[in-house]
Amino acid sequence: MLHLDLSQGVAAVVARLRDLAPPAADIRSAVEDIVADVCARGDEAVRALTHRLDGVELSEDYAVPAADLEAALAGLAADLRRALELAAANVRAYHEHESAASWEITLPQGQSVGQRVVPVQAAGLYVPGGLADYPSSVIMTATPALVAGVERLVLCSPPRPGGGVAEGVAGACALLGVRHVYPIGGAQAVAAMAFGTACVPRCDVIVGPGNAYVTEAKRQLTGVVAIDGLAGPSEVVIVAEPGVEPEWLAADLLAQAEHGAGAMAVLVDVGGALTAPVGAAVEDLAGRWGLPHDQVALVHCRDRATALELIDAFAPEHLELHVDDARELLAGVHNAGAVFLGPRAATAFADYVAGTNHVLPTGGAARFGQGLSVTDFQKRIAVVEIDAAAAAALAPPTVAIAEEEGLVAHAWSARVRAGGSGGGWRPSADGR
């Protein structure tokens, strides 16, 4: 456990906290090779890479059969299935409030302008796996895409040694109606979804968390395909004042730390009375559960104003406000992926069933980014309609700007709309 004091200055403390996350391995070259191989050889490369990196032999057509997905759903324990159904319902209800509608207005010159809001046609969903099973990530990535109206959802998740994807992932896919499921992981999965292969449909956007290879592949393929963001180690900042149960705080800190792979958990102790009891509770619970806690930091903070300064400088993925008037303190928060108000609002609830999305910006990206949303799966197409009267009104200012920029055809295109043949006007050599 790391002990820090904000009397050292916010910038110094933020820098020290960021140092808790290990630097990313230099994997750029390896990912470049994987991406190039999949681009050149398609499924042949995917099968070879899966055999080499995961030790799994993929068949010629390696899509997970629909019958296997349905069997996995039928095999889920009843309480797990009910929990996944509740999570799916709550996450859908949350995301339905994000849906944007097409619109159109008429401006003073008479032209009609607007936007058509349309879904992308194919969305790639990456669900991490390895030896773990993350059905919650199926719900979090698929649901906003379904609300957006995406026609084809393509999901990739690392293969299990015996083939296929993790049972919970397969069951969640069947529950939500995700039918294009492929047991491939890592950079090769991202490349397959970005370029398309004989087996894997080409996608317009790829979303979802993954390891460093997945993140680097998303970085390299941005522009070939849209992405939601570049995920790093998970993180939580908990601001607390006296009166909160130390064991609750310790449990939340360790819940974040158990994500592993550089995940960090920070307690901002306003007033300094909680550091000792929370530190003791962390030691006790970590020992009881066999969890590492070297990524836990306890920060002494003199007042709320300093805590808010730290929050906005650190821009945490998750922010818990364990204070009596949390909603009042929320008004001063500008940078956070998700905020949890009050001592009972543990991040763990939102990781699964509370309704908000758990795919959130990390590493300070909450300064400019946000959680996965319906808008990640939508495009806005500008629409313009101009009648004769509007053309006549718009032509003079269009011509004035076009002539200033020396664009002859632009000016002529506007003039002819304003007066049929352009009133006999023809552009001279200098465009006038």
Burial-class residue 39 by CB neighbours within 10 Å (0-12, 13-18, 19+). Answer: middle
Active-site position among 317, 320, 322, 358: 317
Residue with tokens 């491939």: 184
Cβ contacts of 12 within 8 Å, gap of 6 or more:
none
Burial-class residue 9 by CB neighbours within 10 Å (0-12, 13-18, 19+). Answer: exposed
Residue with tokens 């681009």: 39
Tokens encoding 62: 């390696």
DSSP result, 51-76: HHHH-----SS-SPPHHHHHHHHHTS
* Closest C-alpha to 278, from 309, 310, 245: 245
Pairing of strands 205-207, 226-227: parallel
The Cα–Cα gap between 179 and 176 comes to 9
Decide: 172 and 20 in contact? Cβ < 8 Å. Answer: no
Inter-CA distances, 74 with 68, 162, 348, 406, Å: 10, 19, 26, 68
Percent composition of the chain: helix, strand, coil (DSSP 3-state, to 5): 45, 15, 40
Active-site position among 95, 300, 318, 358: 318
Question: Which H/E stretch holds residue 213?
Answer: helix 212-221
Whether 96 sits among the annotated catalytic residues: the reply is no
Whether 3 sits among the annotated catalytic residues: the reply is no
CB atoms within 10 A of CB 355: 16
Q: Enumerate the active-site residues.
A: 317-318
